[in-house]
A = this chain, B = another copy of it.
Amino acid sequence: MSPASQAATSPSRRVGRRPPGGRGAGLTPAQIVERAIALMDAEGASALTIRRLAGELGVESAALYWHFASKGELCRAVVDTVGARLRIATTTSGAARDRLEHHFVAIREHWREHPSVLELSRQYPPSAAGGVSHAGLALLEEFGIASTDALGCYRSLSWTVTGFVILEQNLASSVHHQRIGPTRWVLTIGDDTNTRSEFDTDDLFRNTLALLLDGLEARRGAPR
């Protein structure tokens, strides 16, 4: 058995930080984080363990511990990396209302792409979220919402969008919803076929956001 394959099958998993030059030292933290994001997006937050991730990358767990002291530190890096992308995605130009709409559309798309990171961010505060909120607040003020009202309105919008994404994620495990297209569902309540109705989550999101933005229009230049 070659030294390399011996190392790969070594039963010692808790070896602490290793000096560079060992197996896996060729990996960058960014590569590890990318693989962690891909793993979680495909299989959910519970799939992420240092051991599993090391296996995916073809290295020992020790190689990951050399970059991240704990799973918690890795999770924090995942949340921050994903959050930094959201910040870029919500930056646009155009009329204030269009940019506001785009801001929240981007947030929904972001969490749809990274459903498990939404779960993770409850435990690991996304340090980039402050930047996204500040950009959104500035947009609301530019739109004509009084600065005393802007934070409350931003929170109303972001809670609505986050809640929407959670409900959207839950549809697949709801016994009264049946998927008939990528974003299309049939709802039937109990055995009552009279309650059967179809809806499209893209249309529903657009309608919900339009109602909120119309509500904001009514408050423009009207401090409360």
Contact = CB atoms under 8 A, between A and B. Distances in A.
A173 B156 CA distance: 20
B130 A194 contact: yes
A175 B215 contact: no
B174 A163 contact: no
The SS class assigned to the A binding surface is helix
Contact of A213 (B207, B210, B215): B215
Contacts of A175: 122-125
Contact of A164 (B159, B173, B176, B207): B159
A166 to B, nearest CB: 6
Interface residues of A, number: 49
A190 B159 contact: no
A170 B167 CA distance: 14
Contact of A130 (B174, B192, B217): B192
Nearest to A162: B167
A190 B125 contact: yes
Which of A167, A190, A192 neighbours the largest number of chain B CB atoms within 10 Å of its CB?
A190
A135 to B, nearest CB: 13
A132 B164 CA distance: 20
A59 B217 CA distance: 60
B152 A189 contact: no
Interface in A145-198: 151-153, 155-157, 159-160, 162-164, 166-167, 170, 173-176, 188-190, 192, 194-195, 197
A123 B176 CA distance: 8
Given A159-B208, A163-B164, A192 B123 contact: no
